[in-house]
Amino acid sequence: MTSRLRKLAAAVTACLLTFSAAGCATIPHSGQIGTVAVEDSDNDVQSRTDPDGPAPGASPASIVRGFLAAGSSPASSFAVARSFLTDDFAGEWSPLKSVSIVESGLSLESLTASVTTDSRSVSFTVPVQASLDSAHVYRDSPSGTETKLKFSLRQVNGEWRISDAPDGIVLSEANFNRLFQAYPLYFFTQDYSYLVPDVRWFVRSNSTLTEVARQLLRGPADNLRGAVISAVPEGTTLEPSVVTVEGGTVDVGLSQEAGDLDKGTSKRLYSQISQTLRANTSISDVRVQTPQSNITSGSDVSADLPVDAPAVVVSEGKIAEVRGNSFEPVPNSPKVSDKVLPAQSYDGNTYYYTNENRKQVERFSAEKDVETLITGKDFVGVSADRFEWVYTAEAKSAEIRAVGKNGELVKMAVPFAKDRTIKRIAVSREGSRLAVLTSAADGTRIDVVGIVRSRGGKPNHLTAGAPLSVGQKFDQVADFSWAGGSYLAVLSADDASAGAYRVWVGGPSVGLGSISGGQTISAAGDLGSMRVGAESGDVYTYTSGTWQRIVGAKAWNPTYPG
């Protein structure tokens, strides 16, 4: 948390629109994305509040404040919020076209309303930390982001009502977690070997699974389009138009476009739908029907590439494996500086590093001595993918360089890094996404884009869609790594001690405490795998909710494969 946010949180005591925190969602500590089971109910939603409607004689500012507060209750299609609107506008307002999530600790009453002299216009300037767009994609906002909300009012039977307002609702972080749940929409890597999660957020309701299925059929988010593949034929829709649930079994009907698929494509289609809907923990079985057949089984495909090799560090001038409380030099390691950032292949047999002067990327193994893969200047740390391509970048280049195991070089433009300094890059486990940490005068940010590949896994270029920015709440990010398919491990440098976080790629973050002098962070997947390297040469591991120092020789820059 930045000092600015701490001061704001200390100055106010109420959370905007927070009527109950008991139902807040939590982010799981291990495994796939967790969601809250949807139970049968007579209500539209299972987690709800009951805000008041407009009070008689309420002022224009009070009407607008009441309207904003009522956005925390989606019951009956936001009926309470619509009661603050004129009859003709109530049918036009689209509450879920966007969601603005305000800074934690901010109260509605602390916001100053600007009211025109004729009382027919009211506006608020609202600090926003994140937003949800119409495609259900969660996007972090840079620190200090504000949005201006303007409302027009007129009197109806002597009472003020809103006649025009921006589409969307405004929620506190607590209410967002209570009302919305995350689902990973799954798509295939370009070689169909793995499923790639595309995290979206949906209002908890009896129609949640229907909306999840519709979004899956529409395809991936812009930042992944071209880097992942959907087995869903173009133009496929739900038929019937709703997904039904009975006794833990989900039935999904698809239109004619999905009716004539070969066996392999049918299995892939089932895997996408089944894995996506099973993110809801109450689902035990998924049945998919097309006009021609019932599809009841999928392909044998995983949503994450396991990391079996231990982390490596630099210790006593060698690249070494972390083995419990000791560091064991890897075979044939050259003499290296403590400043070296090591990397390794997923089989743990090949090692890479940028040398001390950051002008060469080197490679070695137990069987082969050090060889130079690429030369340049000011290289950032190295990342390796499952196809044995190695990625790096010159800090000021706005270009990613990838080198194949036979020395082939590919250059990929990074338009969003123009006029910024690249600090760190990391390829996701399955190889479909690239996360890039950059810095500029406005601070740091992590952008996630797709990698478009050709046959054999050769990277060609990055996806053209706007990247998904992650962790923009942090003024300064010191380091990050992938932590499974849906998360990043992030080390923030906003405070005197580095703060560790687990950040959803397309969702909020969870703080894991601070580490004095923390410089680098890496994770294999669950929280227990996290390692932080400190400037002092101490290495910390996350155990039972706390950071514990590994007792032994000094070591720097712990890194898992990838």
Residues whose CB falls within 8 Å of the CB of residue 34, separated by 6 or more in sequence, listed in order = 26, 27, 28, 279, 281
- pLDDT per residue, tens digit, the chain (562 aa), is 443 333 333 333 333 333 333 333 333 333 333 332 323 233 333 334 678 999 999 999 999 999 999 999 999 999 999 999 999 999 999 999 999 999 777 777 778 889 999 989 999 999 999 999 999 999 999 888 999 999 999 999 999 999 999 999 999 988 999 999 999 999 999 999 999 999 999 999 989 999 999 999 999 999 999 999 999 999 999 999 999 999 999 999 999 999 889 999 999 999 999 999 998 778 999 999 999 889 988 888 988 888 889 999 999 999 999 998 889 999 999 999 998 999 999 999 999 999 888 999 999 999 999 999 999 999 999 999 999 999 999 999 999 999 999 999 999 999 999 999 999 999 999 999 999 999 999 889 999 999 999 988 999 999 999 999 998 888 899 999 999 999 999 999 876 679 999 999 999 999 999 999 999 999 998 888 999 999 999 999 999 999 999 987 899 999 999 9
pLDDT at position 37 is 30
- The H helix count followed by the E strand count for the chain is 7, 38
**pLDDT tens for each residue of 292-302:** 889 988 888 98
pLDDT at position 526 is 84
Residues forming beta bridges with residue 435, ordered by sequence position = 426, 448
Extended strands (E) in 428-505: 433-440, 443-453, 459-462, 468-470, 477-482, 487-492, 498-504
**Which residue ranges form the domains of the chain, and what is each CATH number?**
60-167 (3.10.450), 179-295 (no CATH), 312-559 (2.130.10.10)
Residues forming beta bridges with residue 421, ordered by sequence position = 439
Q: What is the DSSP letter of 4?
A: H
Q: Quote the longest CA-to-CA distance of the chain.
A: 86
pLDDT at position 49 is 60
Q: Which two tokens stand for residue 490?
A: 């992030």
Quote the CA–CA distance of 194 and 153 in Å, as a whole number.
52
**pLDDT tens for each residue of 399-417:** 999 999 999 999 999 999 9
Strands of the sheet with 487-492, listed across from one edge: 477-482, 487-492, 498-504, 509-515
Query: Which residue, 351, 386, 344, is CA-closest to 366?
Result: 351
Query: Which residue, 124, 169, 119, 166, is CA-closest to 148?
Result: 124
Coil vs helix vs strand at 61: helix
Q: Which two tokens stand for residue 487?
A: 């998360």
pLDDT at position 22 is 31
Q: Which two tokens stand for residue 467?
A: 């990247």
Task: Give the CA count within 13 Å in the CB-facing half-sphere of 34.
Answer: 10
Residues whose CB falls within 8 Å of the CB of residue 493, separated by 6 or more in sequence, listed in order = 476, 477, 478
Residues whose CB falls within 8 Å of the CB of residue 79, separated by 6 or more in sequence, listed in order = none
Q: Quote the pTM value.
A: 0.88
Count other Cβ atoms within 10 Å, centred on residue 469. Answer: 16
Quote the CA–CA distance of 472 and 170 in Å, as a whole number.
19
Coil vs helix vs strand at 74: coil
Quote the CA–CA distance of 251 and 120 in Å, as a whole number.
50
Quote the CA–CA distance of 299 and 267 in Å, as a whole number.
5
Quote the CA–CA distance of 172 and 209 in Å, as a whole number.
24
Extended strands (E) in 195-306: 195-203, 244-246, 249-253, 285-289, 294-295
